[in-house]
Amino acid sequence: MTEVDRRTFITGTGVGLACAAVATSAPAAAGGTPADTKTTVQLTVNGKAHTIAAEDRTTLLDALRNQIGLTGTKKGCDRGECGACTVHIDGRRVVSCMTLAVMQAGRSITTIEGIAHGAVLHPLQKAFVDHDGFQCGFCTSGQIMSSVALLKEARAGWPSAATGNVSAPFSYDQLSAAEVRERLSGNLCRCACYPNIVDAVAVAAREG
């Protein structure tokens, strides 16, 4: 057997791996990888049409922030756990990091930038300000978007895990602090402003 010194072995191995990598990637480069494939999609966001070209794997969150420029929707955990990226799609709250942009063609998307009426804040935005419902503010847009949705869900008679009798129709006047906490449980606040957030939602609920 021919003896091979350490330097020759490492050099030969490196060349072999490099050749293997080139051989493996060559067909993909010629045909285009899935990551390089872009789809043109029209998104309706806050009542305005936006036409973008996005990779099929692009999340709605990244499309909103990086391509449309609506940065009010925040990227927190990027895996559906914190709720900072909550938006509404056709009136339903969705964590936008967990859905693809190309799936939203023909749907109505609402972000935090779209709930005020000009210079007039949405009642929940005002309530969060009045009741100190935030500190750093990073999670606030998601908290507010979820709060807007939960009031709508409560008005529609949707029960929650905190509802005593889920077989009976839910009445809006049953929207207690416990109900609010349960319905917002998917939105995390690292500053621990939960008591003030619950107070803000309760005030907005009473006022309309």
- CB of 203 within 8 A of CB of 130? yes
* Residue extent(s) of CATH 1.10.150.120 domains in the chain: 123-207
Q: Please report, as a single letter, which amino acid is at residue 157.
A: G
Query: What is the rounded average pLDDT for all residues in the chain?
Result: 88
pTM over 0.85: no
| Architecture in CATH of 37-114 | Roll (3.10)
Interval 69-116: pLDDT, tens: 999 999 999 999 999 999 999 999 999 999 999 999 999 999 999 999
Query: d(Cα 197, Cα 144) in Å, to the nearest integer?
Result: 9
Query: Among candidates 82, 199, 191, 84, which has minimal Cα distance to 135?
Result: 191
Please state the φ and ψ torsions of residue 134, each to the nearest 5 degrees.
-160, 160
Tokens representing 190 are 């690292």
Residue 84's Cα: distance from chain center in Å? 6
| Architecture in CATH of 123-207 | Orthogonal Bundle (1.10)
Give the confidence band of 11 by pLDDT, cuts at 50, 70, 90. low
Interval 166-201: pLDDT, tens: 998 899 999 999 999 999 999 999 999 999 999 999
DSSP 188: -
